[in-house]
Chain A
């Protein structure tokens, strides 16, 4: 069994279990918690929040994995009823230098969607969230000319090139994650993403090794983990509780 398969099927259950175990800690209540008293919280007016951030895993992976690179940014805006509009974007690429296959890709991407906070807000100051979300993603990919070698032990070696090509990728994402405020507008969180490519057949002739924003280009469904550091600005907050 390949190492990556072992890792995938080892770490996904571990991380899933880890998230489940962490969740009660994240939602652990403070001493002022009103949940147990049965009181219905008064209507809150948290106002507006715009947060911008970037994916901490991008720079880390750029150093760890030599054949791919990417950077991701995110922005979200609080709408109402614990719904957040989300816009994400980034750029990256991959470099394939195998003995029988060589090419590079570069791409940029945009994701748009929403998050729904499933935690009960405790006060107007409470912007911690555990969320589920949906995204639609689009990437524009430029692939260089690919050089390849087909080796046949009987007939000989055939070398060739596949011309450069630009194409697009479309995908849908399901997101689960959490975000907490560390200090006065500085927020950190993680999310787990299940991504499903919608037009995989359009680049079957040479699936890119990596699509920034999506992941492995030769898979129709991928899982991804992101760790975000964000800064939030707020306004129109009515009163404090």
Chain B
């Protein structure tokens, strides 16, 4: 009987110590940032395109508090974010800042999808891309490859066809 009671008390102690570790919030291990992957391509001829690396491109997010620009060197793929506070976002795009090409405006319209990740991470927004409109200084056209924008970083969502000689 003494052994049983001893074992019982020891078990109580172990469980109390073990469960006391569960008070804190777990760290968020899921990506919370949702980005739209954009690829730039160029027409080689009327039926063929190729990935085009832009040497000195510039992207600018038009937000409520102003425009914030991001410069890239030697890239053909970009990760842009969409606004969780509105159903559309506006990005400015200049494929070659070295030559002073005019800036294009890319407007993205989408549906926001409120998504619960976990108690550790809380909520985030996924997006369903509905349409994309653009000016045509340097952009020939825009094509939606995958409308569903989630925290899966391996998918290309948008393809921008740049004029042959921007």
Contact = CB atoms under 8 A, between A and B. Distances in A.
Interface of A: 2-4, 6-8, 10-11, 14-15, 18, 22, 25-26, 28, 56-57, 60-61, 64-67, 96, 98, 100-101, 148-150, 152, 154-158, 160, 162, 180, 182, 188, 190, 204-207, 209, 218, 225, 227
A66 B21 CA distance: 12
Contacts of B123: 100-101, 148, 150, 160, 162
A158 B11 contact: no
Interface in B67-92: 68, 81-86, 89
Interface of B: 1, 3-5, 7-8, 10-12, 14-27, 61, 63-65, 68, 81-86, 89, 114, 116, 118-119, 122-125
Contact of A227 (B5, B15, B20, B22): B15
A127 to B, nearest CB: 14
26 contacts: A4-B26, A7-B22, A8-B21, A11-B18, A56-B12, A60-B12, A61-B19, A98-B122, A100-B122, A101-B119, A152-B84, A152-B85, A154-B81, A155-B81, A156-B83, A157-B85, A158-B84, A158-B85, A162-B114, A180-B4, A204-B116, A205-B116, A207-B118, A227-B8, A227-B11, A227-B12
A65 B22 contact: yes
A7 B26 contact: no
Contacts of B61: 154-155
B11 A156 contact: no
B43 to A, nearest CB: 31
A164 B11 CA distance: 39
Given A152-B85, A155-B83, A158-B85, 6 more contacts: A64-B16, A64-B23, A154-B63, A154-B83, A155-B63, A180-B4
Given A11-B14, A100-B122, A65 B85 contact: no
A182 B2 CA distance: 10
A234 B85 CA distance: 66
The 10 closest A-B pairs by CB, nearest first: A7-B21, A11-B18, A155-B83, A101-B122, A148-B123, A100-B122, A22-B7, A158-B84, A25-B3, A158-B85
A15 B11 CA distance: 8
A193 to B, nearest CB: 12
